[in-house]
Structure 1
Amino acid sequence: MRLISLVNAVLVIVALYFLVFERDSLFAFAGREDNAPESEAAETTGVAPEQAVGVVALRSTAREIDSAVVLRGQTKADRQVEVLAETTSTVVSAPKRKGAFVEAGDLLCELDPGSRPAQLAQAKAAKLEAESRVPEAEARLEEAHARVDEAEINLRAARKLSETGFGSETRRIAAEAEMRSAEAGVKAAEAQVKSTSAGIEAAAATVSTAELEMDRITIEAPFQGLLESDSAELGSLMQPGSLCATVIQLDPIKLVGFVPETEVNRIVVGAPAQAQLVTGLQVEGRVTFLSRSADETTRTFEVEITVPNPELLIRDGQTASIRIAAEGAKAHLLPQSALTLNNEGQLGVRTVGAGNIVDFVPIQLLRDTAEGVWVGGLAETVDVIVVGQEFVTAGVVVAPTYKDASQ
């Protein structure tokens, strides 16, 4: 009895093996045992019509679609600046509250001027005093040049008289000494002029420093935007580096995402883009920046899209689903149920080929929509099995029933 049970088990295993792994060969063997073909289709395929598997096929023609690059990202303010103090003083202006809209040049914080106006006035007075010394120095220089001219005339006369014997040697020596004294006077006058000019420049630098210090007591908005924080409170002590306020610009706003290195060459600066925020808001813009350097950790490239935001409906830091238009491609719109896997686990579809013989064609999944999936890798016109594709394999003869893509 035990031997009979083992024989039965072996027979069952062999039958299951041929049914599962050698199904095509088993079907072909069974077909050869049938009667001769009785129809024109049987003459072509070698299979009788009653043996063909009935399936439903979709006759699809490729259409042009924009093969968009899809990525996740977030919104980012176009500009955000922390406006800091540059001097030490106390705030004397009422604070502006966060959320307030400011224009470029609007006052954010006003500081107590203290002694700065007096220092500025003193610097200006010192500059005027230095400038008043210029005419005197220039007059002394002209006087020194005149003495040089006079001493030069006297020296020439003394030398000529000494050569002809009508003048003493002592007079010539005295004339030369007078000439050297006049030249020394010119040098002294020139030095005085230079000193006066240097004094004017130093006074002007002091005035500029005092004016800059006066400008620092008024802290203004650098650009149009919103206050992201309250400005400094009245009476607060400000020091260089202390925060006055944070200004953020949201119009326009940027969408920032990261593109994998396999897709980066499909994106160009200036390409149109669309995005849907988590709030459901749909926005449009254009690519304004594409990084040339990949992130060392993720091997992705940063991309920025500038989007108009005149009503400030888009906030900083919102998650967005971004679609960047890329070069178009031919694709077929198929029901998602038509996709299947072959024995190697490759994604594709089963099609009806010549002689109604099934073929498996690998595909590339381009886009998933509510109407179906857009796939590439197929011929311009193809008959895709949409019902019964799981019951046939490549090489099996089918009896297809066709339907239009609109059905």
Structure 2
Amino acid sequence: MKLIPLITAIVVSVGLYFLVIQRDTLFAFARGDDTSTLSENTPSSEKGEESSAPASEQIVENRVGVVARHSQAEVFDSAVILRGLTQAVRQVDVRAETSSTVISEPLRKGIQVSEGDVLCKLDPGTRPAALLEAQARLTEARANMPVSEARLDEANARLSEAKINLTAAQKLAEGGYTSETKLAASKAAERSAVAGIASAKGGLETARAGIESAIAAVAAARKEIERLTITAPFDGLLESDSAELGSLVLPGDHCATVIQLDTIKVVGFVPETLVNKVGLGALAQAELATGEVVQGQVTFVSRSADQSTRTFEVEITVANPDLSIRDGQTADIAISAQGATAHKLPQSALTLNKQGQLGVRIVREDLTAGFIAIELLRDEADGIWVGGLPDTVDVIIMGQDFVTSGVAVAPSFVEASQ
């Protein structure tokens, strides 16, 4: 039989006995105190003896020492934290509306352009001649207008004459002074005059339609000539070279890309659980990847969620007069929301309970440890803002991992600045 395992078991058993049953005696021995006096004052459950030491001294000796802080709730300017990117307030791909050959020198990307500046100029071809032809047709149509009006006046005169002759023939026929043939001829002349008026009116309408058609042809020819000059729609920067000299462009072909950056948008997506905290006009701050911090206001909150992420688009408008902010930069966004009360604690004060809930250990009124689950609101360099705690609470900031709920503690309090 091997003696080493047996001796090891005996030593461990003795150690556990003194550590569990005679813990006070062991601690007193380690401190160099008189163990005989302590053993006399230590209560024995087997003999039913009562301790001769004061009860308050025993209570203090059995408590766990911790460091705590008196924490008072403060007004906390809560914010909705997002991650997004910058976007140009306007970006347009300027395209051709007609087909022709580029006859202007190309502009290079990166230059500043103003509204109305020529980006691409196209060969006019036969378009000026088409305009002259349309103008000539308009002149001709307008010249035909007086002729049509004169024909209408002539038809009206013939109708008046025919009505007079018909009236006279009818009166003579009633007295027997004219023949039926003469009366029938007068009626036929009157009907012919009416038909002549209708024909004259039709000719007048045709002349008017010819004028309108000629005016439309002139406008179309002029518009086609206007399309030969492609200009910048607004002040901005060229994001691409304009079309090369001599290249053929068709309707819809790219001429240049103009981007406006004097005002920038910072776009993020807010979760559906926080969207009600974001309102139009709310102040917002964005920290760019370069470290630059910019401020602006919320100008758009989407009413429709993205179907894949269930988030809502939020746009923040930021002034960018020096064009220092570029399109497509990553940004950490903080949007101000309605203020609330919260506690600012050191991050080291956080702990977990047996159920895995995140919270803090507190000192109760009976000097025992307790646990309260908390809600993380904002993480800062010098501490963390949490919610879910009473307005006034004593939070254990050191030793919280060595106690559980109900354990007696001996707290030492420090100021918040420490």
- TM-score where L is the length of structure 1: 0.90
Q: Does 1:339 align with 2:355?
A: no
Candidates 39, 54, 67, aligned match of 1:38: 54
Q: Distance in 1 between matches of 2:136 and 2:307?
A: 60
Q: Distance in 1 between matches of 2:287 and 2:228?
A: 44
Q: Distance in 2 between matches of 1:263 and 1:32?
A: 61
- Corresponding residue SS for 2:234: coil
Q: Which runs of 4+ in 1 moved over 2 A?
A: 30-39
Q: Distance in 2 between matches of 1:62 and 1:109?
A: 65
- Corresponding residue SS for 2:327: coil
Q: Corresponding residue for 1:25?
A: none
Q: Distance in 2 between matches of 1:48 and 1:279?
A: 58
Q: Distance in 2 between matches of 1:313 and 1:121?
A: 50
Whether the aligned pair in 2 keeps the contact of 1:37 and 1:48 (CA below 8 Å) is no
Identity of aligned residues (%): 58
Q: Corresponding residue for 2:66?
A: 55
Q: Does 1:282 align with 2:293?
A: yes
Alignment of 1:186-205 (within 5 A): 186-205=197-216
Cα shift at 1:58: 0.8
Alignment of 1:219-368 (within 5 A): 219-368=230-379
Cα shift at 1:127: 0.4
Whether the aligned pair in 2 keeps the contact of 1:71 and 1:257 (CA below 8 Å) is yes
Q: Distance in 1 between matches of 2:44 and 2:338?
A: 51
Q: Does 1:145 align with 2:161?
A: no
Unpaired runs of 5+ in structure 2? 21-41
- Corresponding residue SS for 1:356: coil
Q: Distance in 1 between matches of 2:280 and 2:53?
A: 63
Unpaired runs of 5+ in structure 1? 20-29
The one-letter amino acid paired with 2:237 is L
Alignment of 1:93-132 (within 5 A): 93-132=104-143
Quote the RMSD (CA, aligned, Å): 2.5
Whether the aligned pair in 2 keeps the contact of 1:155 and 1:175 (CA below 8 Å) is yes
Alignment of 1:200-219 (within 5 A): 200-219=211-230
Q: Distance in 1 between matches of 2:247 and 2:92?
A: 20
Q: Corresponding residue for 1:158?
A: 169
Q: Corresponding residue for 1:67?
A: 78
Distance 1:374 1:37, change over 3 A: farther
Q: Corresponding residue for 1:85?
A: 96
Cα shift at 1:261: 1.5
Cα shift at 1:31: 9.3
Q: Distance in 2 between matches of 1:389 and 1:170?
A: 131
Distance 1:32 1:80, change over 3 A: farther
Q: Corresponding residue for 2:32?
A: none
Q: Distance in 2 between matches of 1:244 and 1:86?
A: 10
Q: Distance in 2 between matches of 1:319 and 1:108?
A: 31
Alignment of 1:378-397 (within 5 A): 378-397=389-408
Cα shift at 1:329: 1.6
Q: Corresponding residue for 2:25?
A: none
Cα shift at 1:119: 0.8
Q: Corresponding residue for 2:24?
A: none
Cα shift at 1:32: 9.6
- Corresponding residue SS for 1:96: coil
Q: Distance in 2 between matches of 1:285 and 1:31?
A: 71
Q: Corresponding residue for 2:194?
A: 183
